[in-house]
Structure formats: structure tokens, C-alpha cells
Amino acid sequence: MRKDPTERYVTVSLFAPGGGYIGVIDTLTKEAIGLFRATQFRYMGEASPQRSNHMSNFSRDGKYIIVSNLDGKAMERIDVTRDRQGIITQLTYNKSATLGLGKNMVVNAPATFFKGQNAFGNDLVGGITGDYTVLGLSNFTPQECARRMDVAQLIKMVQLVGDRIIVLFAQFRATQDLHTLPWLEEVH
């Protein structure tokens, strides 16, 4: 896990039933700021699509959170808005920034965010913007070359996000999906 440039916020990738959750936590107050669910993609011939967020990290400048959507084989982005003191005031899942790394990708369920209050009674921030683009999910690059990416190329792409990436796999065991908890409302 890597803090943002202000050393105040961290992202958490939650592996839970149904999966694909991305949380943002204020390390100063120990409270949740926002909660999202990554896009669920499916591929031709795939039996049952899953959601699994491998990792999520702040960009060096703290303006974005880069999400590595493992089961979706995609890189996604959450835009971060701050006030003059660096406090996060808004988090927006930007569907237009999605880059698919697989072939024959189809959006099965779009990214979502959760409205509600955290354990301290403060409202979660979140929103969704943009649309999944044909170019972002295409089997081809903008130069019309077949999109093929191996693990080494993907690691180089992810390393552009920061000097180093330290991943924390937060294990979350629950008897129900997070999106079914009564105090949270999942928004599409």
C-alpha cells in the first residue's frame, strides 16, 4: 500500500464475495472516505464473469487512483479532487479512462460507487463520469496493431504510476456482499 503525496490517504483493495471493491481511507482520522466497485467485464466463451481488484494506487501527483482490475483484465482510473489544503473533496470513477488489456471485452456491469455514511457518521464521497470507449476496450491499439500484452509490459505500465508499488492485499471475509449492507446504497 502506498500513501498519496500528502501522506494522508491510502487505497485498499478489498477481496470480498462478489469482489472488486476499492476503498479510500484517511489515515489521520482512520475513516473511510469513499468506496467503489470495479467494472465487471466478460469475454467471449467465459462462463461466469467475476470482479477482482488486484491493486489500486495513487498517482505520484495524487490526482488519480489507478485501479488494476485483475479479472477484468483492465486498468481503470478514479479522479481525485482536493481543496487547497490537500483534503480529498471528491472521488470520481472515470469510465472514459478505462484501458482494456484483454480481447473481445464487453462490460457486464459498470463501475459503481457507494452512498451512505462511514463508521464516524460522515458521508462517503463518490461519483461516476464518462463512458467506456470503443478505443479503450478495442482489440487494437490506436495504430491498429493487435493488442497483446504480457506480464512484463503490464508491470512497466503500472510502474509509471509511481516510483515503487507495495501492494497490501486486505483480506475481507463476509457472509454477504458489501453492496447488500443496509447502510450503503450502490449507485450506477
Domain boundaries defined on the chain? 9-181
E-state strands within 16-118: 21-26, 31-37, 40-43, 53-58, 64-69, 74-82, 88-100, 105-109, 112-116
What was the pLDDT predicted at 51?
78
* 119 Cβ contact partners less than 8 Å away, ≥ 6 residues apart: 31, 32
84 CB burial (10 A radius; 0-12, 13-18, 19+)? exposed
Distance CA(72)–CA(46), nearest Å, equals 11
Distance CA(113)–CA(127), nearest Å, equals 6
What was the pLDDT predicted at 73?
81
Give the tens place of pLDDT for each residue, 41-99.
887 767 667 777 778 999 989 999 999 888 778 889 999 999 999 999 999 999 988 88
Backbone phi, psi, residue 120, to 5°: -95, 0
For residues 138 and 68, the model is more confident at: 68
Report which residue type is found at 30.
K
Give the tens place of pLDDT for each residue, 139-157.
655 555 555 544 444 444 4
